[in-house]
Amino acid sequence: MSAAGVALMLGGAGILLAATPAQAAEITFKTECIPPAISNLPPIQGETTVAITAPATAKVGDTVDISWKTVKAASKNPDVLDLNKDVVQPSGNVTVGGAQSGTVAVQGPRQNPPIPKNSPMVLSEMKGKLKIEKAGDITLTPDKYTINVNQIMTTETKCSPKETVKAGATIKVEGGSTTGGATTGGATTGGATTGGATTTGGATTTGGATTTGGATTGGSGGQTDFPGKAVDVTYDCGAVVPGGIKTPVTISAKKNGGAYALTVKTAKGAMASPMALPAGALKPSMNIKLGGADSGTVKVTGPANAEPIPDKAPVSLSDMSGTYTPGKTGKVTLTPDQLTIDVTMSAGAPPINVPCKATTSGVSLELDTAAQPGGSGTSGTSGSAAAAAGGLAETGASDDGGIKALALVAGTVVLLGGAVFTFTPWRRLRGTR
């Protein structure tokens, strides 16, 4: 017996009850995509092609599955870095119209084949659920979507239609008692997750805790080494690093004449490289905020990684060093402040700066200082001391030429799904004491 004959017999007997999925036509619409803030790039204009699938018929009270298949995203993976398998995760919204209104949030798994440079982005199928609340024809229209990439860093590129989009599917709903509410169901599966791990929360800091060791003889002979204590610092990197970073930081000093050579250490081996990194890819720097008798900031820097870092290998930020020349006499506190990491993926390319503001910190070291000529202080700074107290490090070019140069390099790296230079919020880094 033919398959068609079997279907007719079962249907006549009332056994074939499942609704037939709607065969949705592909919908193409003009799209504007906003690259991650770190790229300094203007919005990207392109086209997106989507197929929305849903049951052709339903009844009031049913909960139906909605799927979004991205046939074509609005941009390619740029010609800089191959994206690894399973690093891209899409999420989006489907607008509900007609007899019922609202929004269905859809999300796909972090699942993709390897995506070579300069090739189309491949997005997994996104799914969500809609509760049917009113009778009549319900239309489903693709709306905004987000592409999340978790490779080296976690980034989000947000895309939205720039023209009126046609409905991608229609559900015919049979009459019955309605629930009256116009809000759709299934609005919880959207793109709330962002590849990066959740934060460990704003852990309590040591505040202005009593400092260790070298709080006694900073001014004249005697003690020369002043070990600091580790303080937990929570960093807010904005949209660049969802959830931020948490790491213990220790500031130590060695007296050298009237100045102090500073050494700053963060957690060692506390993160795993999500991919192979070349030598020279990661270079850290940090602002140390002065308090007590002196004020201003001292910048410390560390060398880039000297050797390539294999995929999944432990990664440590190098120790940072700088010189503090006291501008005032008295007890001076040193507190970790802004952390900046320069990311350079190819020789000769301008680094992309990832600035992270310290939202919670604490005093790591206290020194008993004697003012030195040309030292830092409230009246001004010199040498390694930065400008105003609590100021943030300069992390990018202030002139248009520098910005354009950075944008040119970043533009080849940070497009749809290819913005791979935002730091991964490594779970172990944020949780290590």
pLDDT tens-digit series, residues 399-430: 333 333 333 333 333 333 333 333 444 443 34
Query: Stretch 255-269: mean pLDDT, rounded?
Result: 89
Q: Mean pLDDT throughout 314-342?
A: 91
Provide the pLDDT confidence category of residue 226 given band limits of 50, 70 and 90: very high
What's the pLDDT score for residue 182? 36
Q: Which two tokens stand for residue 89?
A: 């995760």
Count of domains observed in the chain: 2
- The answer to whether residue 387 is domain-embedded is yes
In a domain, 213, yes or no: no
102: its two tokens: 């609202």
pLDDT for 316: 81
Identity (one letter) of the amino acid at 110? R
Which residues, in sequence order, are bridge partners of residue 27?
50
Is residue 413 in some structural domain?
no
Please report, for the domain that includes residue 50, its CATH number.
Answer: 2.60.40
**Residue 382: pLDDT band with limits 50, 70, 90:** very low
Asked whether residue 236 carries a pLDDT value surpassing 90, the answer given is no
What local confidence, expressed as pLDDT, does residue 150 receive? Answer: 84
Confidence class of residue 23 from pLDDT cuts 50, 70 and 90? low
- Tell me, yes or no, whether 277 and 391 share the same domain: yes
Average pLDDT along the chain: 73
Residue 185 included in any domain: no
Same domain, 164 and 254: no
Least confident of 48-52, 160-164, 248-252, 370-374: 370-374
Question: In sequence order, what are the beta bridge partners of 254?
Answer: 225, 261
409 in any annotated domain: no
Residue 30 and residue 162 in one domain: yes
pLDDT digits (tens, 9 = 90+) for 7-22: 333 333 332 333 445 5
Helix (H, G, I), strand (E, B) or coil at 422: coil
Please tell me whether residues 278 and 357 are part of one structural domain: yes
- pLDDT surpassing 80 at residue 235: yes
* pLDDT value at residue 351: 80
Beta-carbon contacts of 164 under 8 Å, excluding residues fewer than 6 positions away, are none
For the chain, the residue count is: 433
Winning range, highest mean pLDDT, from 157-171, 225-239, 343-357: 157-171
Segments forming the whole domain that contains residue 166: 19-174
